[in-house]
């Protein structure tokens, strides 16, 4: 039989940029005490971002080295920057015990689903186009980046139907409450299956 740890769950928060994935995910993650696994990125940290908390911010040279070593589950270029998740980080967190969460665009969510199958639960977070635009403007995101993100909006929205769950995010407390309840059900069921 498979190792007990192989039954830990992988919650992936996905959806369009600006929908609130990070805000919601970190709040739910803190409430439930689940570990975040972060990607490696070659972009520069934005004001307020912390290395090792938002991303592992690394040089293109180091990124290339990891890539050449076959470390990345998938690797994408977004707005001229590289992003990737190292399989060994996921394996390590799962091995330590407990479920994990990640924040990814739909492409990344799909890659995880294909790699880890049934253990992956995708939570699709969404808001209307104008709202996600306003949020990104308010957050001080570069206007060119906002434009490329909005060009991806419809494509991202189409991924909703593939996800295990979808939540609109307007009232933040409400969204966090709903998702926390949903994940608690998964965690409880997972515990019971082990008894
Ligand atoms: N496919 C994929 N997407 C990622 C990965 N890491 C982050 N992303 C997504 O790529 C986009 C990165 O854009 P960025 O402007 O840095 O956004 P932010 O980090 O969400 O503020 C976001 O939609 C992220 O959720 C990854 O490893 N793989
Ligand atoms: N329900 C909400 N109402 C108002 N603002 C929100 C809400 N959820 C998130 N935000 C804000 O919107 C911005 C984008 O949220 P973020 O979590 O970074 O989105 P994403 O990870 O999807 O790009 C942030 O400034 C965040 O504080």
Cβ of 84: how many Cβ atoms within 10 Å?
Answer: 23
Asked if 139 contacts 129 with a C-beta cutoff of 8 angstroms, the reply is no
Tell me the domains of the chain and their CATH numbers: 7-194 (3.40.50.300)
Distance in Å, CA 191 to ligand 2 centroid: 32
Whole-prediction pTM: 0.96
User: Is the ipTM above a cut-off of 0.95?
Assistant: yes
Q: Which of 195, 145, 186, 190 is nearest to 7 (CA)?
A: 190
Pocket of ligand 1 (CB under 6 A): 17, 22, 39, 43, 74, 76, 78-79, 83-85, 103-105, 107-108, 145
Distance in Å, CA 4 to ligand 1 centroid: 31
Distance in Å, CA 98 to ligand 1 centroid: 24
Q: Is 7 exposed, middle or buried (0-12, 13-18, 19+ CB in 10 A)?
A: middle
Instruction: Measure the CA–CA gap between 17 and 165, rounded to whole angstroms.
Output: 17
Q: Atom 14 of ligand 2 has which residue's CA nearest to it?
A: 18
Instruction: Measure the CA–CA gap between 57 and 83, rounded to whole angstroms.
Output: 10
pLDDT in tens, the chain (195 residues): 344 455 799 999 999 999 999 999 999 999 999 999 999 999 999 999 999 999 999 999 999 999 999 999 999 999 999 999 999 999 999 988 789 999 999 999 999 999 999 999 999 999 999 999 999 999 999 999 999 999 999 999 999 999 999 999 999 999 999 999 999 999 988 878 776
Bridge-based pairing of strands 56-57 and 100-103 is unpaired
If residue 157 lies in a helix (H) or strand (E), which one and from where to where?
Answer: helix 153-158
Q: Which of 87, 188, 189, 178 is nearest to 124 (CA)?
A: 178
Instruction: Please report the atom of ligand 1 found closest to the CA of residue 22.
Output: 20
Instruction: Please report the atom of ligand 1 found closest to the CA of residue 85.
Output: 27
Contacts with 188 (C-beta within 8 Å, 6 or more apart), sequence order? none
């Amino acid at each position: 039989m498979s190792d007990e740890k192989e039954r830990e769950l992988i919650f992936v928060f996905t959806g369009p940029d600006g929908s609130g994935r990070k805000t919601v995910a970190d709040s739910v993650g803190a409430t439930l005490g689940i570990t975040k696994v972060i990607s490696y990125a070659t972009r520069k940290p934005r004001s307020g971002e912390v290395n090792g908390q938002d991303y592992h911010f690394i040089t293109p040279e180091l990124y290339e080295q990891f890539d050449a070593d076959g470390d990345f589950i998938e690797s994408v270029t977004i707005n001229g920057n590289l992003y990737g998740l190292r399989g060994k980080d996921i394996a390590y967190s799962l091995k330590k015990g407990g479920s994990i969460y990640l924040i990814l665009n739909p492409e990344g969510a799909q890659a995880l689903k294909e790699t880890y199958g049934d253990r992956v639960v995708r939570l699709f977070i969404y808001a209307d186009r104008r709202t996600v635009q306003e949020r990104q403007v308010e957050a001080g995101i570069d206007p060119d980046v906002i434009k490329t993100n909005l060009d991806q909006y419809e494509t991202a929205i189409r991924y909703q139907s593939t996800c295990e769950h979808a939540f609109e995010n307007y009232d933040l407390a409400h969204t966090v409450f709903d998702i926390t309840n949903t994940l608690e059900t998964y965690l409880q069921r997972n515990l019971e299956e082990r008894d």
